[in-house]
């Protein structure tokens, strides 16, 4: 898929936002939803989406919802740091298929990193244990300020 196109309101993340698909939720408010990646690149890999902005990628979103979304990303990154005590945090975002985007609903990845631990492959690793995702979601969510 290219950088251009129509937003599909039935994409997986839109269905998660509407409660039509399961997710290990970390945090939710009026505008932002954070949930665990089911194919994590590392322990604690969290996804953050805007709930109401119909944007496929970073190029599609208006400034106001983008500001709200990035503030949510920062809140989640701080909570990941407090809950999991990583050595670093990788925040990434993909735009278009050639960049690695697989779900066409704007989202940010918050990935805790530990020195010496390899980063898993994006969208190609093993499916995580749902019970472990629930535990991590609770631990991170408990640290949201």
Please give the Cα distance from 23 to 40 (Å, whole number): 13
51: tokens are 């709930």
Determine contact, residues 129/43, Cβ cutoff 8 Å.
Answer: no
CB atoms within 10 A of CB 21: 12
Task: Output the pLDDT for position 126.
Answer: 85
Mean pLDDT of 34-60: 97
Which pTM was predicted? Answer: 0.96
Distances (CA, A) of 121 to 41, 96, 125: 6, 17, 6
Among 113, 107, 140, which residue's Cα sits nearest to residue 24?
140
CATH topology of domain 12-141: HIT family, subunit A (3.30.428)
Task: Output the pLDDT for position 123.
Answer: 79
Confidence of residue 11 (pLDDT cuts 50, 70, 90): very high
What residues does each domain of the chain span?
Answer: 12-141
Reported as a single tens digit per residue, the pLDDT across 52-87 is 999 999 999 999 999 999 999 999 999 999 999 999
């Amino acid at each position: 898929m290219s950088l251009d196109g129509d937003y599909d309101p039935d994409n997986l993340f839109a269905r998660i936002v509407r409660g039509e698909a399961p997710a290990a939720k970390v945090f939710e408010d009026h505008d932002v939803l954070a949930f665990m990646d089911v194919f994590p690149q590392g322990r604690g890999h969290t996804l953050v989406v805007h709930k109401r902005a119909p944007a496929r990628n970073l190029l599609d979103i208006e400034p106001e919802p983008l500001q709200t979304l990035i503030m949510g990303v920062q809140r989640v990154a701080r909570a990941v740091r407090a809950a999991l005590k990583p050595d670093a945090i990788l925040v990434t975002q993909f735009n278009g298929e050639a960049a690695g985007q697989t779900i066409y609903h704007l989202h940010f990845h918050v990935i805790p990193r530990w020195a010496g631990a390899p980063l898993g492959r994006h969208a190609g690793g093993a499916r995580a244990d749902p019970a472990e995702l629930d535990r991590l979601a609770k631990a991170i969510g408990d640290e949201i300020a």
